[in-house]
Amino acid sequence: MSLSDIDAPTANPLQAFVAAPPGVSMDAYWMPFTANRQFKKQPRLFVKASGMHYWTDDGRKVLDGVAGLWCVNAGHARPKIVQAIQAQAAEMDFAPPFQMAHPKAFELADKVSKLTPAGLNRVFFTNSGSESVETALKMALAYHKVRGEGTRTRLIGRERGYHGVNFGGISVGGMVGNRKQFGTMLSGVDHLRHTHDPKRNAFSLGQPEFGAELADSLEDLVALHDASTIAAVIVEPVAGSTGVLVPPKGYLNRLREICDKHGILLIFDEVITGFGRTGQPFASQTFGVTPDMIVMAKGLSNGAVPMGAVAVKQSIHDAFMNGPEHLIEFFHGYTYSAHPLACAAALGTLATYEDEGLLTRAGDLQAYFGEAVHSLRGEPNVIDIRNIGLVGGVELSPIAGSPAKRAFDIFLDCYERGVLLRTTGDTVALSPPLIIERGQIDQLVDTLRGAIRRHA
Ligand SMILES: Cc1ncc(COP(=O)(O)O)c(C=O)c1O
């Protein structure tokens, strides 16, 4: 049986559909990161998912080219995950995470710590990528303070970075659309230069050759602010939301060296690259660079129940473990940290990854996937193609005066033809579940090719 056979529909999947109750207004739901008015004129509703596919409310089967939202790495409705959630809901719905715990939280933290690079073996749970980012930034600040280096308060992000939507995340983030409506955000933040360099690197297969020296912009910030004021640098190893920006060869190593030289913590935001997306459990392993903290979410629980986590070096954790033993060491946490349903879902997820070798499957498919995506070179308006593991970005030239419209029209066109993609600006992003088969990669790319031609 091939991995994609798991989604062979039952005798009549339509029987299982639950349509929206007639007469329900669409007005009340203010949708996140959505063109609400356009959507409500032309709604797109999913009502069922299995394996590599969604089904729409009108019964159409749609190939999932983006793992839901970069999170359903093992494919949809996988039995071990479904059963784990069902059993946990019946056994214990909730356990308070402050001064109390439940066994699965420890089991999961232990399992996660075995997947992360050596040394990152302490795990703090959250409920999303955004919360994981805030947690990591607060940990970095508090870490320096408990060590007596409380002047290190500055946080460094990167242009074109995405670190979720909370105030810390948008402050270190570098997407203007996500920042400009929200005032001045955190003070004491600065940004590295982004690494996008189409003049030198357009159509690179895998990691681009040029741009390691862009990491030196951290030296410029150190010269400007002084290392004694800088707590941490946060970057995505591969930037996803700003259009799939793969790190130039040597760039992350250089960033690591500069952080080490100046006592600055290096945080990798692996919310999309974690859990097999680039061919190893984490991108830090793919690129051979170990940060001090890894921010994760999405693939941790296969998107089935919200969950995030931050893995940190033991030395960071241990720095907090001083003072009287009955006192709380880190004043941070969420009501739903290590929620029993999320832990159960994540344990089912990790078991599925292990059973099917999914955390390295992107490495096996990378050559085929990369070649397929790069076959779009030469199609109308395609100005760059980027890829790593099972991630692809196809950048299109914008329609004059209507940025993002060409890519959005292509997204709608593909959706009508049974393929779900995602767009950011004028880049089309592909990040399918790791169970994808070669024939489905062809379907994904050929459907996109047709849409690109139709919208030339
Ligand atoms: C790199 C990165 N960090 C953080 C986030 C935020 O995660 P969430 O939407 O779960 O808060 C995302 C979401 O796409 C992301 O791609």
Degrees (nearest 5) of the Cα angle 159, 172, 201? 25
Q: What are the chain's domains?
A: 3-73+357-454 (3.90.1150.10), 82-356 (3.40.640.10)
E-assigned strand segments in 98-202: 122-126, 154-158, 189-192
In this prediction, residue 20 has a pLDDT band, given cuts at 50, 70 and 90, of low
The Å distance, Cα 116 to ligand 1 centre, comes to 19
Quick check: 19 pLDDT over 70?
Answer: no
Is the minimum distance from the CB of 160 to ligand 1 under 6 angstroms?
Answer: no
Please name the residue whose Cα sits nearest to atom 13 of ligand 1.
Answer: 164
**Looking at residues 257-264, what average pLDDT do you find?**
98
The Å distance, Cα 21 to ligand 1 centre, comes to 32
Q: Which of 162, 245, 302, 427 to mutate to test the pocket of ligand 1 (most atoms within 8 A of CB)?
A: 162
Task: Report which of 455, 162, 101 is spatially closest to residue 297, judged by C-alpha positions.
Answer: 162
The Å distance, Cα 271 to ligand 1 centre, comes to 6
| Model pLDDT, residue 14 | 44
Task: Report which of 242, 267, 275, 283 is spatially closest to residue 384, judged by C-alpha positions.
Answer: 242
Quick check: 83 pLDDT over 50?
Answer: yes
Is the minimum distance from the CB of 128 to ligand 1 under 6 angstroms?
Answer: yes
Atom of ligand 1 nearest to the CA of 70: 14
Task: Report which of 287, 283, 312, 288 is spatially closest to residue 298, judged by C-alpha positions.
Answer: 283
How many CA atoms, within 13 angstroms, populate the side-chain half-sphere of residue 403? 4
| pLDDT, mean over the chain | 95
pTM of the predicted protein model: 0.95
Q: Which amino acid makes up residue 289?
A: V
**Looking at residues 182-199, what average pLDDT do you find?**
96
pLDDT digits (tens, 9 = 90+) for 246-260: 999 999 999 999 999
pLDDT digits (tens, 9 = 90+) for 161-184: 999 999 999 999 999 999 999 999
Q: Which amino acid makes up residue 391?
A: V
| Model pLDDT, residue 15 | 41
Is the minimum distance from the CB of 272 to ligand 1 under 6 angstroms?
Answer: yes
- Is the Cβ–Cβ distance between 396 and 406 less than 8 Å? yes
Q: Is the dihedral of CA 262, 264, 270, 276 positive or negative?
A: positive
**Looking at residues 192-201, what average pLDDT do you find?**
97
Quick check: 218 pLDDT over 60?
Answer: yes
- Report the side by side order of strands in the sheet with 308-312: 122-126, 308-312, 293-296, 265-269, 230-235, 154-158, 189-192
Give me 124's structure tokens.
């703090």
pLDDT digits (tens, 9 = 90+) for 298-346: 999 999 999 999 999 999 999 999 999 999 999 999 999 999 999 999 9
Is the minimum distance from the CB of 133 to ligand 1 under 6 angstroms?
Answer: yes
**Looking at residues 357-371, what average pLDDT do you find?**
98
Q: Which of 298, 301, 422 to mutate to test the pocket of ligand 1 (most atoms within 8 A of CB)?
A: 298
In this prediction, residue 3 has a pLDDT band, given cuts at 50, 70 and 90, of low
In this prediction, residue 21 has a pLDDT band, given cuts at 50, 70 and 90, of low
Pairing assessment for the beta strands 419-420 and 391-396 based on DSSP bridges: unpaired
Please name the residue whose Cα sits nearest to atom 7 of ligand 1.
Answer: 129
**Separation of alpha carbons 250 and 244, rounded Å:** 18
Indicate the SS3 state at residue 115. Answer: helix
**Separation of alpha carbons 393 and 412, rounded Å:** 17
Q: Among 18-27, 49-58, 350-359, 370-379, which stretch is predicted with the lowest mean pLDDT? A: 18-27
What is the largest distance, in Å, between two alpha-carbon atoms of the chain?
68
Q: How far is CA 99 from the centre of its chain?
A: 30
Compute φ and ψ for 34, nearest 5 degrees: -135, 145
The Å distance, Cα 307 to ligand 1 centre, comes to 11
Ramachandran bin of 412, using left for φ above 0, alpha for ψ from -120 to 50, beta for the remaining angles: alpha
What is the DSSP code string of 287-347?
HT---SEEEE-GGGTTTSS--EEEEE-HHHHHHH--S-TTS-SS----TTTT-HHHHHHHH
Quick check: 2 pLDDT over 80?
Answer: no
| Model pLDDT, residue 103 | 98
Give me 80's structure tokens.
């071990």
Q: Which residue has the tokens 């830090």?
A: 284
Atom of ligand 1 nearest to the CA of 133: 4
- Report the side by side order of strands in the sheet with 53-56: 46-50, 53-56, 61-64, 419-420
Is the minimum distance from the CB of 269 to ligand 1 under 6 angstroms?
Answer: yes
What is the DSSP code string of 334-354?
-TTTT-HHHHHHHHHHHHHHH
The Å distance, Cα 132 to ligand 1 centre, comes to 9
Quick check: 413 pLDDT over 80?
Answer: yes
| Model pLDDT, residue 8 | 47
Q: How far is CA 151 from the centre of its chain?
A: 31
- Is the Cβ–Cβ distance between 284 and 270 less than 8 Å? yes
How many CB atoms sit inside 10 A of residue 93's CB?
Answer: 10
Rounded-to-5 percentages of helix, strand, coil across the chain: 40, 15, 45
Is the minimum distance from the CB of 297 to ligand 1 under 6 angstroms?
Answer: yes
| Model pLDDT, residue 23 | 75
| Model pLDDT, residue 7 | 52
Task: Report which of 277, 348, 336, 276 is spatially closest to residue 309, judged by C-alpha positions.
Answer: 336
Is the minimum distance from the CB of 236 to ligand 1 under 6 angstroms?
Answer: yes
The Å distance, Cα 129 to ligand 1 centre, comes to 4
Quick check: 18 pLDDT over 50?
Answer: no
